[in-house]
Structure formats: structure tokens, C-alpha cells
Amino acid sequence: MNIITFGTFDVFHVGHINILESAAELGSRLIVGVSSDELNRSKKGRDPIYLEQDRIKIISSLKCVDEVFIEESLELKAEYIKKYKADVLVMGDDWKGKFDHFSNLCKVIYFPRTPSISTTEIIEVVKSIK
Ligand code: C2G
């Protein structure tokens, strides 16, 4: 079974590895769409801290990940699901309900987010250090 998931994975943290490991356990092959720098700017209104190529390098180095590609647009999910022959789409539950319309192409599963950690919070904490 092929599993697909998407994310920016900026300032890589334990919440990211938790969802990737949980996703990988659902099947035999985990494919990850890493948001381009430009897509991150349009989604979050800021540049990512880590550049696209570095985020791709980090995700590609994980033993639970089999293939990585650049997610250029949120609108291309159906194409990516078909191209990578995904049987299951996994996302964190901050996206709950947002991808249900892909259930005609593959199973859609939302995992609970890891509590108390996010890239945004890490950035705020680092900024506040004097
Ligand atoms: N995540 C999590 N727990 C956290 C933080 C993040 O489970 N504490 C999950 C998110 O729910 C998401 C994945 O880790 O499924 C990647 O998170 P982000 O990098 O914040 O991804 P995002 O920018 O939401 O991009 O096409 C969809 C987007 O590209 C998702």
C-alpha cells in the first residue's frame, strides 16, 4: 500500500517525525510532498526558515520515508495522489475535513497532532531569547 502525506516540515521537530512514522506504519511505501518555498509563502505569509532543498534533504534522510517530491500547489493534490498511486492520504487533524473530497481517489486519514509543539512556537521562543 502506498501512503502519501504533505507538509512544509520547516524547523523539523518531533511532531513531524511522529506523523511520518504513524503514516509509514499504514503501508509499505511512504511518499512525502514537501511544500515549495513559494507555496509556504502563499500558505503562511512568510519565508520558511529552512530552504526547500534543505527540508527535502532532511525528509529524504528519514528511514520511514521512501520518496519525496516538491508540492508546488495545494490545488494539485488529486494529480499527486494519482501520479504516486497513493492508496491512503494522511494529514494531521489541523486539516480535518479539508481533504475529505479526495476519498473518491484514496482513503483519507487524519492523525491527532502532537500536542505542545509547532514550528511557529519554536520561532517565537527563539525570538524571545535575549
Ligand atoms: N504536525 C503534527 N503535530 C504537530 C505539528 C505538525 O502532527 N505538533 C503535522 C501536521 O498536521 C502536518 C505535518 O505535521 O500533517 C506537517 O506540518 P506542517 O509542516 O505545518 O505542514 P503544513 O504547512 O500544514 O502543510 O498540502 C498540505 C500542506 O502542505 C500541509
Could you tell me the end-to-end alpha-carbon distance of the chain, in angstroms, rounded to an integer? 48
Q: How far is CA 79 from CA 15, 20, 93, 103, in A?
A: 27, 21, 22, 14
- Separation of CA 19 and ligand 1 centre (Å): 8
Of 7-16, 39-48, 98-107, which range is least confident?
A: 39-48
pLDDT 10s digits, 30-44: 999 999 999 999 988
- Separation of CA 6 and ligand 1 centre (Å): 7
Q: Pairing relation of β-strands 88-92 and 2-7? A: parallel
Q: Closest Cα to atom 29, ligand 1: which residue?
A: 7
pLDDT of 77 above 90: yes
pLDDT 10s digits, 103-127: 999 999 999 999 999 998 998 999 9
Cβ proximity of 108 and 94 under 8 Å: no
Residue 101 corresponds to which cell in the numbers above? 473530497
Count the domains in the chain.
Answer: 1
pLDDT given for residue 43 in this prediction: 87
Give me the percent of the chain exceeding a pLDDT of 70.
100
CATH code, domain with 108: 3.40.50.620
Q: Closest Cα to atom 4, ligand 1: which residue?
A: 15
- Give the domain extent around 67: 2-128
Question: Which mutation among 3, 5, 6, 36 tests ligand 1's pocket best, with the greatest number of atoms within 8 A of CB?
Answer: 6
Q: What residues are in contact with ligand 1 under a 6 Å CB criterion?
A: 6-10, 15-16, 19, 35, 43, 71, 74, 91-92, 94, 113-114, 117-118
Atom of ligand 1 nearest to the CA of 112: 7
